[in-house]
Amino acid sequence: MRIREAFSPLIDLVFPPRCPLCGDMIAAQTGLCANCWSELALPGTPACASCGRPFAHQVAEGSCCAPCLKDPPRHDGIASATLYNAASRKLVLALKHGNRIGLAPLLAQLMLARLPFLDEHWLVVPVPLHRWRLWQRGYNQSAELAKGLARPRGARLLPEGLVRTKSTPSLGGLGAVARKRTLSGAICVNPRMKAKFKGAQVLLVDDVMTSGATTDACVSALKKAGAKRVVIACFARVLDEALSAT
């Protein structure tokens, strides 16, 4: 860190810091300009005690949303840095498909603000990519985010804790039942690391949480392996009704 700080003036001279969203000049290499910061939508309160879904009106403390009451989740909470909108989408796509791995620390920093409980007693595990997808992309964006969460808090990073055993098509456009069927048997705990999850507290990391089908499959695998608690952390969460209220 000290070496980076020593060379930062030279880096700024050669590569003037710019906002990764709009390209305007900014003060440091990490961060967004003031206008782009204001375009990010942050989950508000009050929120569901089970999944963190923001309520549009005041409710009693400890209240759960209708989806959680109807179908109680297996996870132990969801921590989302932002709601999925045009600004967060641009950041996610730049990280995921634009080879902008340097954005991961910024996104992870925003996620850490929602994870005050994360410490050295937790395991941090990213949602896995199938090996063919990993080979094509060259990196797992969720693993890059997980790295940025684990290191500052001293948590143990297990980048290969989960394995995607079969390649699955895009889940876009599929209903809940079809998504669940597509992911059936696609994700499991790495057999070499199964013992590490017995009685463990696990932070499951994803870049974007849409329907929750992928994270549900991961949570099921972790709980089956004996994990005591599994909390999901994502940079952006698709909640159109909450976004409209915001």
14 has a pLDDT exceeding 50:
no
**Domain positions in the chain:** 1-39, 41-245
Amino acid, single-letter form, for residue 109? Q
Question: Mind listing the pLDDT tens digit for each residue in 97-144?
Answer: 878 898 999 999 999 999 999 999 999 999 999 888 888 889 999 999
Question: Mind listing the pLDDT tens digit for each residue in 179-203?
Answer: 677 777 789 999 999 999 999 999 9
d(CA 50, CA 63): 8
How does residue 172 score in pLDDT terms, banded at 50, 70 and 90?
Answer: low
Q: What's 130's DSSP letter? A: P
Residue 240: burial class (beta carbons within 10 Å; 0-12, 13-18, 19+): exposed
Options 1.10.357.10, 3.40.50.2020, 3.40.640.10, 3.40.50.920; CATH of 41-245: 3.40.50.2020
DSSP string, 48-61: -TTT-PBPSS---T
What is the reported pTM?
0.88
CB atoms within 10 A of CB 167: 11
